Structure 1
Amino acid sequence: MLSKQGLCSRTEAARWIEAGRVEVDGRIVRDPEFPIVQGRQRVRVDGRELDAAPRLYLMLNKPRGLVTTTQDERGRDTVYRCFDGSGLPWIAPVGRLDKASEGLLLFSNDPAWSAAITDPDTGPDKTYHVQVDAVPDEALLEALVRGVEVEGEYLRARAVRLLRSGERNAWLEVVLDEGRNRHIRRLLAEFDLAVLRLVRVAVGTLALGELPKGQWRRLDDVEVAALSRIHKNP
């Protein structure tokens, strides 16, 4: 319930409860699985009544070299460094980009909205611009769309096209309708293509645009609604 209210993550909520900071109807509860009927019971944290946090929907132009997590056990810089000094309440990444990847990363404190965006069956497509260490021909681009089995998973792209090329490398536009762990890197590696740079440029109709690296902005109501109306292309 604390997480669904947009107040914190489920992990953080469990810590609050186990530390004795949460009361239900005047009694401290230390069991994170204690059943709650929202609206019927009075819940306090540190003695204060709860109010649902205002819903936030943000986009960040993630720089390369940051990990998409709240805390990193190896002490690496995380994406939350980009929000230092912002005064924002708790927000969580909507999906993720690996450390070496860049570009559009969504954040929200609305778990239902986030789940809809990341749902592989109904969520919006994600578009990437990918620099590779060769110039693939049309047959190879078609093979990436057909896909291949990699370590028990079938990896494929929804669409791939050549954006531009030089003598030794090329930029591809790759569209995914689902996002498995290191999906693009693993798929391209099966065809002997190494990724030199990977930038997510769009989620559904929401484009990264001219947002500077490491900067963030709030989504407007139209953008939030557009992403909420989830439609897979046929």
Structure 2
Amino acid sequence: MSSEPRPEGERIAKLLARAGIASRREVERMIAARRIAIGGLIVETPATILKDLTGVTVDGNPVAKPEPTRLYAFNKPTGLITAESDPKGRPTIYTALRNALPKKTPRLMPIGRLDLNTEGLLLLTNDGELKRQMELPSSGIPRTYRARTFGDITQEQLEDLIDGITIDGIHYGSIDANLERRTGRNQWIEVTITEGKNREVRRVLEHLGLQVSRLIRTAYGPFELEDLPRGMAREIRTDELGRFRSWLKRAGGNH
């Protein structure tokens, strides 16, 4: 039984994501809205296979060749939304990034999110495909947080989280949690997760009866917040990024 040869190239959504136009999911929405064309013909499906982006336009504008992948670390303050705009008019991370990055910095997309009241390390990239790979739970990239909490908790209770926990029907996988220091009923807890589900750290700690008064992400994979000042950003060195991408490929993050 013969099969047709697989066409050469990659899906247009993947190529546009890599070019930094938008995430794959957003590109699919743009295609549905008939905003993307090839040689003047509207693209009907995100399954369209292309060798490159020659002749592709978005809203009538030619797509530039992809720039080299770049990755930035940003120390997000509380009170900022991880979005390009907010219907309620609240300040976003881009409000702060305009002052934290050089003017010629490429368009950046956040890798994952930090909610309004969570601070610390937020990674941003111009490569939508890298963004997708780093957000996939199957990549198993650890994210580490420090949480200032109030309430009664023991190290034994925290160690039970290594087996995962189910809260309101949502299962959270293995969590590595350790008491750092305690003053009365106040304590700092270091928490490392690999799934990154919505508000995971807060929900798990609150389920254990703790009040979370501060939550700081200190690391995402091998990239650490270190002494990066609040509200400031820095570019990850090319060699650091290269080593990480090699690891990501081995870990299966290119699925």
Q: What TM-score results when the alignment is normalised by the length of structure 2?
A: 0.78
Partner of 2:56: 43
One-letter amino acid of the counterpart of residue 212, structure 1: P
Cα distance between partner residues in 2 of 1:42 and 1:57:
28
Structure 2 gap ranges (5+): 1-11
**1:72 is aligned to 2:89:** no
Q: What pairs with 1:95-110 in structure 2 (closer than 5 Å)?
A: 95-110=112-127
Cα distance between partner residues in 2 of 1:44 and 1:119:
28
Which residue of 127, 144, 160 maps to 2:144? Answer: 127
Displacement of 1:171 in angstroms is 0.3
The count of corresponding residues between Structure 1 and Structure 2 is: 230
Contact 2:80 2:90 (8 Å CA) reproduced: yes
CA deviations on 1:190-210 (whole Å, 9 max, x unpaired) are 111111111010112211100
Which residue of 171, 180, 192 maps to 1:154? Answer: 171
Partner of 2:214: 197
Partner of 2:98: 84
> Residues 226 and 199 (structure 1 numbering): CA distance in 2 closer, same or farther, change over 3 Å?
farther
Q: CA RMSD in A?
A: 2.8
Contact 1:8 1:90 (8 Å CA) reproduced: no
CA deviations on 1:1-24 (whole Å, 9 max, x unpaired) are 43331134564796699586x652
Structure 1 gap ranges (5+): none
Cα distance between partner residues in 2 of 1:185 and 1:227:
28
Give the 3-state SS of the residue equivalent to 2:213 in structure 1.
Answer: strand
Cα distance between partner residues in 2 of 1:9 and 1:205:
23
> Residues 48 and 142 (structure 1 numbering): CA distance in 2 closer, same or farther, change over 3 Å?
closer
After superposing the two structures, state which structure 1 stretch, 90-99 or 67-76, moved more. 67-76
